[in-house]
């Protein structure tokens, strides 16, 4: 126990009996500001919202578990969404702001004799075509679950992918679910609702959307293990979808 023994010797209060054990709370919603996360529980339903983490949302109903929801854009290869968490009206909000531009060739007088581009400092090259991408996620409680509002704007036709990772072992059903030919664990999702059954419990989510089939976007983190459902679109993109516990 090392130095902890000294604490018990010097602080007499630590020798007092422990308080009586109380039941674990099963109905609450609490924002842990210093740790940047929110935990929600109502019986068998629970949800977690994480700040500064690409796995910003997870949800479960009993044994049916959505392990993670992540968002990425292909904007200049740096669009993996992972931002601080703050309270918002009726819920919680995460925001991301990204700037992008293109480097132009060096002027002839500034080029080295061997024209070795990888060794050239970017600060000596002109930049052009500046743009700005703003992404936001708002999460709020609704009857039986949570609603996520996604808004990505600022540029046109930048691919976006929403990754939903499910705990393996269950049964996935839904409208316009297309299995990826390259992997038995990846689904592209079109419209309507999807339901995941596992361990005698069910989670329903949606509505889905699909505008392209690119799931592993440039600059995004590798796909998480397990069963994965993708919703895809192009900027500007504004979508709202829910995760709910169903009997």
Domain ranges of the chain: 26-97+133-246
Residue corresponding to tokens 């999807």: 194
**Is residue 31 within 8 Å of 86, Cβ to Cβ?**
no
Name which CATH class applies to 26-97+133-246: mainly beta
Query: Strand 186-189 vs strand 227-234: parallel, antiparallel, or unpaired?
Result: parallel
Q: What is the pLDDT of residue 184?
A: 80
Global model pTM greater than 0.75: yes
Q: What is the pLDDT of residue 245?
A: 98
* Structure-token pair, residue 149: 């509002």
The strand order across the sheet containing 194-198 reads: 85-88, 91-103, 127-142, 145-153, 237-246, 201-206, 194-198, 171-174
- Where residue 44 falls (left for φ over 0; alpha for ψ -120 to 50; beta otherwise) is alpha
Q: What is the pLDDT of residue 212?
A: 95
Q: What is the pLDDT of residue 85?
A: 98
Mean pLDDT by 10 residues, the chain (247 residues): 69 84 95 97 98 98 98 95 96 97 81 65 82 98 98 97 97 91 88 96 97 94 94 98 96
Q: What is the pLDDT of residue 59?
A: 98
């Amino acid at each position: 126990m090392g130095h902890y023994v000294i604490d018990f010797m010097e602080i007499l209060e630590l020798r007092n009996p422990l308080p009586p054990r109380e039941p674990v709370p099963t109905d609450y919603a609490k924002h842990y500001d210093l740790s940047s996360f929110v935990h929600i529980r109502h019986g068998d339903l629970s949800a977690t919202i994480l700040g500064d983490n690409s796995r910003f949302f997870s949800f479960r109903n009993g044994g049916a578990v959505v392990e993670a929801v992540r968002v990425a854009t292909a904007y200049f290869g740096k669009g993996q969404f992972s931002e601080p968490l703050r309270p918002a009206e009726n819920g919680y909000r995460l925001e991301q702001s990204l700037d992008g531009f293109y480097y132009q060739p060096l002027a002839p007088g500034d080029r080295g004799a061997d024209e070795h581009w990888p060794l050239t400092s970017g600060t000596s090259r002109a930049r052009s075509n500046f743009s700005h991408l703003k992404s936001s996620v708002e999460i709020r409680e609704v009857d039986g679950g949570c609603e996520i509002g996604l808004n990505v704007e600022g540029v046109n036709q930048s691919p976006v992918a929403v990754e939903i990772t499910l705990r393996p072992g269950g049964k996935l059903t839904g409208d316009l679910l297309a299995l990826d030919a390259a992997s038995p664990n990846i689904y592209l999702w079109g419209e309507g609702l999807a339901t995941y059954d596992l361990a005698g419990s069910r989670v329903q989510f949606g509505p889905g959307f699909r505008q392209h089939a690119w799931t592993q976007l440039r600059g995004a983190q590798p796909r998480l293990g397990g069963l994965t459902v993708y919703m895809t679109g192009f900027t500007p993109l504004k979508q709202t979808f829910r995760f709910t516990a169903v009997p």
